[in-house]
Amino acid sequence: MVTSPASAQEAQGTVPAAPGGKAAIPIVIAVPCERPSGEQRVATVPEVVQKLTKSGFEIRIEHDAGADAYYPDEFFRAAGAKIVDGRTGLFNGARIVLHVQPPTPAEIDQLAEGTIVIGFMNPANNLDTVARMRDRKITAFALELVPRITRAQSMDALSSQATAGGYVAAILGADNCPKFLPMLTTAAGTIRPATVLILGAGVAGLMAIATAKRLGAIVEAYDVRRAAGEQVRSLGAKFLELEINAEGQGGYARELTPEEKVKEQEMVSAAVARADIVITTAAIPGRKAPVLITRKTVAAMRPGAVVIDMAAESGGNCELTRAGETVREQGVTIIGPRNLPARVAFHASQMYAKNLQAFLSLLVERDGGLVKEFTDEILIASLLVHAGAVCHGPTREMLGGGKA
């Protein structure tokens, strides 16, 4: 059982408790501008602000935090938020900070001990940030650690953002393809539909399949999890069958054996060679992405073919992918986009904000105060750092193991 900073602050008398236990002053939630370049999303939207203020929270939004997602300050103000210019005023007295990306070092240093920060933390790639939050006694919840159980579906930000990413990947593929996607019968002749191949039919892959189908393409898909076949077929796409079932724990894929990898490679290469657009989404949590398209496979692709590598940031599913860049090799365009959900920032922010609203409901008691202990299994699983300790085992080990 983990004691929440709320009870610690109440014990110190810094949070006046009203009769019945309800906080006499509203809990302040701060929403800063996202600093990393290319990040256009914002952690809350006016519709959610309206609901949170009705529930008794005070919401502070940093000036222009929603501007890049097309949520101007005046919309937030009309929804009941206070717009704050400058971080001192934003964080002063804030109990909770909502983020999309991990907080910056400067920001962590500005937060009071016990402040709760919620957002994507990408801990394996941000160990310095984790250590800084630990040392500053920040309480951080990492949304990528929310367990994928039915009760947590409304707070599954990995899925909501993968949905946004899968949609953008299909559009990006169509935009870079020199062909029409649908079949056309015109006075100038008949156009054959383009073939789109999706490798990895998880949340992003399924959304890419649905989007490419709507654009009129012939869609094929492959996943190491045989269970994905039914979902692929229900979207009207063809599922490529390989005599391997690599379903691992919790619905995720396990790593293939060397022999399985050779068989997979042969089948995937043949499908890649006949595709006009290939969208790759294959990932194994916590590991480098598997290479599914080798340099040799690219050489066998059609001129004008496009690869959208959604795994670019975790090493890439194509051997030639360079994260954040577009590579042209023998007439094939290989795009390794970063942060695809940010390209549909308006709706990606809306979905993310609703995920956070659902997550916040776990932190609040019926009387409106913060929970005294983190006993809910979703809170326990997603608690990254708390009270000067790293609570997530794998991250603790990466930081040198030992005690929490």
Among 31, 283, 344, 348, interactor with ligand NAD by CB under 6 A: 283
Is 73 part of the annotated catalytic residue set?
no
**Residue matched to tokens 């914002």:** 42
Identified catalytic residue from 40, 136, 156, 222? 156
Is 159 part of the annotated catalytic residue set?
yes
Residue 252 within binding range of ligand NAD, rule CB under 6 A? yes
Q: Which stretch binds ligand NAD (CB under 6 A): 92-100, 173-181, 224-232, 369-377?
A: 224-232
Give exposure, 227-246, as e/b (b: 16+ Cβ within 10 Å): ebbebbeebebbbbebebeb
Residue 301 within binding range of ligand NAD, rule CB under 6 A? no
In sequence order, the 6+-apart residues with CB closer than 8 A to the CB of 383 are 2, 139, 140, 141, 145, 374, 391, 392
Q: Which stretch binds ligand NAD (CB under 6 A): 32-40, 129-137, 187-195, 277-285?
A: 277-285
Residue 197 within binding range of ligand NAD, rule CB under 6 A? no
Residue 222 within binding range of ligand NAD, rule CB under 6 A? yes
Is 148 part of the annotated catalytic residue set?
yes
Is 352 part of the annotated catalytic residue set?
no
For residue 157, the minimal CB distance to ligand NAD (Å) is 11
In sequence order, the 6+-apart residues with CB closer than 8 A to the CB of 220 are 195, 196, 197, 198, 237, 238, 239, 240, 271, 275
From the CB of residue 137, how many other CB atoms can be counted at a distance below 10 Å? 18
Residue 350 within binding range of ligand NAD, rule CB under 6 A? no
From the CB of residue 72, how many other CB atoms can be counted at a distance below 10 Å? 14
For residue 145, the minimal CB distance to ligand NAD (Å) is 13
Residue 339 within binding range of ligand NAD, rule CB under 6 A? no
For residue 191, the minimal CB distance to ligand NAD (Å) is 30
Binding-site size, ligand NAD (CB under 6 A):
28
Identified catalytic residue from 252, 269, 322, 376? 252
Residue 341 within binding range of ligand NAD, rule CB under 6 A? no
Residue 271 within binding range of ligand NAD, rule CB under 6 A? no
Residue nearest to ligand NAD (CB): 202
How many Å is the Cα radius of gyration of the chain?
A: 23
In sequence order, the 6+-apart residues with CB closer than 8 A to the CB of 266 are none
Q: CB-side exposure of 71: number of CA atoms within 13 Å? A: 32
Is 252 part of the annotated catalytic residue set?
yes
Q: CA-CA distance, 149 to 353, in Å (whole number)?
A: 19
Interaction mask 141-180, ligand NAD, x per CB under 6 A = -------x----x--x-xx--x------------------
**Residue 226: alpha-carbon gap to chain centroid:** 24
Given a contact cutoff of 8 angstroms between Cβ atoms, the answer to whether 247 and 225 are in contact is yes
**Residue matched to tokens 């191949």:** 197
Among 202, 337, 341, 369, interactor with ligand NAD by CB under 6 A: 202
In sequence order, the 6+-apart residues with CB closer than 8 A to the CB of 276 are 177, 179, 194, 195, 196, 217, 302, 304, 305, 306
Alpha-carbon distances, residue 75 vs 50, 82, 213 (angstroms): 10, 11, 36
Q: Which stretch binds ligand NAD (CB under 6 A): 60-68, 102-110, 113-121, 281-289?
A: 281-289
| 111 vs 301 by CB, closer to ligand NAD | 301
Interacting residues toward ligand NAD by CB under 6 A:
148, 153, 156, 158-159, 162, 199-205, 222-225, 228, 251-253, 281-285, 290, 292
The residues annotated with a catalytic role in the active site are 148, 153, 156, 159, 252
